Structure 1
């Protein structure tokens, strides 16, 4: 059986669950039964207890909505989760892993929070990383391109502590390559793509007779985790032979190969009902 050892470090159950709903529920307004989720995730070596506790936590966090039909419980994504799932879908299929269209614009966010606000600082930094920012220097973060900062930091209540700027090219003695290598761990990002290529060699999706449904889940979760950690740096300022393009091509090839067998398995393995967003 394909295990998490073969696809890198084990994704968190919540990340896997979101990925699964992104594949099978996004745009369909459906809810999946707890029983079928337990069955599928069991094939991915996730225990029933872990599945149930993950579903409960995701309901409490406003990511899933419960729907009861007789003695069965179904779960569907909330409006909040749907936005997260759509963002993941767009990053995979539209934004892409290689940024060849950078117009030279930078978005900068400066902030200074009270020393005691450790939790707020952590939340802000997490949102900035999610939004493609990297720390240029203490209290100053930068991202290539135009970023909707109000959307990135929405709900944190920290707007009055932020200073946001957008502008064109860096000027001497600063250059774009220096900014990228100062704010982002370019080498680590490259290694992530190289590791993906190693994990998902041509033979990997066929390993051990694992079901296409599980292979699809592991493949998408692995790739989504990778592209979400990639700030989409402009290709023109990255080292020659940047591995993102080859990794993306490998993902698309394997995703296409898994799609139809996984769809056929899902048709029989998944117990779902129609469930409009609340």
Structure 2
């Protein structure tokens, strides 16, 4: 959970996806669930197509390996990289957000999850990690130390490894009069900023050919950009958002472009990638 939250925080506000975001997108689209390791040279080729330098790609691959997100193995003169249990969990969560949860929450049943915490001043790392995880999980800050998210949110992954259970209180509740739910939404989240992310996505992708020179690069940039866009979205109840909420047209555009680009992108990737099976990597 923490790696995903950190990766999300790094991407917020960036017009161009960071190398790690692009690499995670690449591995999610072309390595996840295929039980393969791919040659570093192949990865360098793919990211070069979207303008990432060899140095930046190599540095990011090394950093991801040190953090337990990639498994590296040498075979002869070639180095191959594959997914770990941690990175598979990250990618499956991203896959769920993109393809199953969606950007529009029309199934909210009125339930809120409330989480309050108070940690010693010396616990700076734990506070930062928890705030990152709360943002990724869709929480907004309602008032000092009290965070709120729509729906039922499992607190266990939020607290995993922090040793902070005794400093956190979690409740599930429903708003009662005179509480105005629309007011809670405006207080806890920057609605204009969230809408701005979707409008910027729409503006960038009205002409997908302008984004990159080939289909594989466009597909990689498209999905990375969309993931960065929805990372900041807590999926607030649709009935409490403005009538012209831009998440819906942005999602329709993403799905349409992905349907158009993905088959050809996968064909190019299959021809490009030098790979070995996970079994061969473990020999």
> TM class by shorter-chain length?
over 0.9
> How big is the shift at 1:19?
0.9
> How big is the shift at 1:68?
2.2
> How big is the shift at 1:166?
0.6
Is residue 272 of structure 2 the alignment partner of residue 266 of structure 1?
A: no
TM-score by length of 2: 0.91
Consecutive unaligned residues in structure 2, runs of 5 or more:
1-13
Is residue 120 of structure 2 the alignment partner of residue 114 of structure 1?
A: yes
Equivalent position to 1:78, from 77, 84, 90: 84
The residue that corresponds to 2:202 in the other structure is 197
The residue that corresponds to 1:66 in the other structure is 72
The residue that corresponds to 2:240 in the other structure is 237
- Equivalent residues in 2 for 1:128-277 (5 A)? 128-168=134-174, 170-201=175-206, 204-207=207-210, 210-275=213-278
Is residue 26 of structure 2 the alignment partner of residue 20 of structure 1?
A: yes
TM-score by length of 1: 0.93
The residue that corresponds to 1:10 in the other structure is 16
- C-alpha separation between the residues in 2 aligned to 1:207 and 1:36? 24
SS class of match (1:107): strand
Consecutive unaligned residues in structure 1, runs of 5 or more:
1-7
| Cα displacement string for residues 65-103 of structure 1 (whole angstroms, at most 9, x for unaligned residues) | 012222111111110000000000000000000000000
SS class of match (2:107): coil
Contact 2:202 2:253 in 1 (8 A): yes
- C-alpha separation between the residues in 2 aligned to 1:114 and 1:232? 31
- C-alpha separation between the residues in 2 aligned to 1:220 and 1:190? 18
- C-alpha separation between the residues in 1 aligned to 2:158 and 2:82? 24
- C-alpha separation between the residues in 2 aligned to 1:34 and 1:236? 47
> How many residue pairs get matched?
269
